[in-house]
Amino acid sequence: MNILGIGSIIESVGKVADNLFTSDKERLDVEIQKESLRLQEKQIEAGTLNRVHDTNIAEAQHRSVFVAGWRPFIGWVGGMALVYSFIIYPLFLWGNAIWWQVAPPPSLDSDFLFNIILAMLGVAGMRTFEKARGLTK
């Protein structure tokens, strides 16, 4: 994850430094500085992920359904969309071709649907992990 774009800056600085410095000691110093910058970038990313995790735990522990209930709601909506896309809609098209001869209902954009469902499955996996560890009530 390159949140702040520091990786490209590090590479640019490294290329410029390689052209300016010629001794092995100077090149080693530049490599140490580049690794230090990479470490700082990873620390910033880890801090950001820790804050997101803390926010997720606080939301999951909240008593209000409007705060803690958005994940189950999105899961149910996604599940209903999957049922519609892969069961109801194809059965309707099949029945329409055989018996009814009416205009078919609209289909859902499956690209967006899959993105939402896959994202929810990742979140749901973390939620299960939190529940298994006893972090939520």
Residue range 99-137, pLDDT digits in tens: 888 887 888 787 777 777 777 776 656 666 667 777 666
Same domain, 31 and 49: yes
Residues with Cβ within 8 Å of residue 123, at least 6 apart in sequence: 71
Token pair listed for 97: 């071709």
Among candidate residues 61, 81, 99, the one where a domain is terminated: 61
Examine the fold and report which residue of 19, 46, 61 is the final residue of a domain before the chain moves on.
Answer: 61
Cα(91)–Cα(96) distance, integer angstroms? 8
pLDDT in tens, 34-84: 899 889 888 888 888 888 788 777 777 777 776 677 777 877 888 888 899
Domain boundary among 61, 82, 102: 61
Please say whether the beta carbons of 118 and 74 come within 8 A.
Answer: no
Q: Which domain holds residue 125?
A: 64-137
- Give yes or no for residue 1 having a pLDDT over 60: no
Alpha-carbon gap, residue 58 to 41, rounded angstroms: 26
- Nearest by Cα to 26 from 11, 38, 39, 16: 16
Does residue 130 sit in the same domain as residue 73?
yes
Statement to judge: residues 46 and 24 lie in one domain: yes
- Give residue 112's pLDDT: 79
Number of domains in the chain: 2
Give the distance from CA 40 to its chain's centroid.
22
Query: Do 53 and 74 have their domain in common?
Result: no
Instruction: Name every residue whose Cβ is closer than 8 Å to that of residue 92 and which is 6 or more positions away in sequence.
Output: 104, 105
- When computed from its CA atoms, the radius of gyration of the chain, rounded to whole angstroms, is 25
Q: pTM for the whole thing?
A: 0.43
